[in-house]
Structure 1
Amino acid sequence: MPIARPTAEDLINPGPAEQRALAALQHYQQWDSGYSTQQRTRPQTIGCALVDSPVGLAAWIYEKMWSWTDNNGHPEDALSRTAILDNLTLYWLTATGASSARLYWESFGSFAPSDITMPVACSAFPKEILPAPRKWVERHCTNLVHWHDLDQGGHFAAWEQPQVFVRELREAFGAMG
């Protein structure tokens, strides 16, 4: 997931990729960011519910699968029912719902944009939560060695499109020598 923020200049005369990214950002802020606010400010509140109720855990995660996969209105368009149940079971049996929520609280303070000078490879999947145009990413990733805009996939790209993901990894590491 390439992460980058727009600058004030990006807002003046955005191109098509930037317009899509800005629209996605607006949609996220208005409709999809509640989970993030909850997890970065009060992770233990939701964490207790996620480890106490299998139905609560399933609802919390399944909604993300619905929202963040490249589907046609149903998560099972992108992921098999077995894969979904396997994932939910893994979270439930390991009781990792709370720790996965707490990760937001632990990491949000260090989310400041800073330049990355090491080699970077990005695979831009179209249904990513917050798509970042290459132009925005290049500002902070000064050694971008691989960029590929893909036709399918969402936030769970490795899970949804495993063959494509492996191909992207091979191309990325190949570009790094």
Structure 2
Amino acid sequence: MKYLTQPLTILLVLFANLIFAQENSRELQRMNPKESIATNTANSQNHTTLLAVIEAAELEEILNEEGPFTVFAPSDIAFEKLTSGKIDELLLPQNKKNLKTLITYHIVAGNFSASKILKEMCRGAGRASFTTVQGDELIATMSGIDIVLTDSNGNTARITTADSEQSNGVIHEIDSVFLPAKL
């Protein structure tokens, strides 16, 4: 019996992760590819904090019309990992510049699907570098079957749901928020 406990526990954890990943995938699949990044973020149930940050930074117009952009979009769960009060502090009107820095730290100019990221990694011997519109680099590598992004401060985030096509780019949901050193 004790030999069955560990495999059973592993199976239960994998099943729970599969259900969670499917729910996240369904949320991004519900996004309308004919709508913009800003519009779809506004309609998403998993990105209410991201929407609040985009609006407070006054970036919704840019993310509505221009592009293409690749957005590595932290989910609400990712924002919950931040220290208590960090987002509330950043959402204060006097911190609009910091919010713009935070959001642009998650955006790359161009439309980079997961397959394009993987192709770049193949060309780069397992690593690909992308410059955010804020000016810092994100390095993409693989960990098992996951694409992992690492910022210039050594912080990492996994792409949990990839390739939500938008009219002006693509969204990849990530499991952590990158905080620039300046914040």
In the superposition, the TM-score normalised over structure 1's length comes to: 0.32
Query: Which has the larger share of helix?
Result: 1
Higher relative contact order (CA 8 A, sep 6+): 1
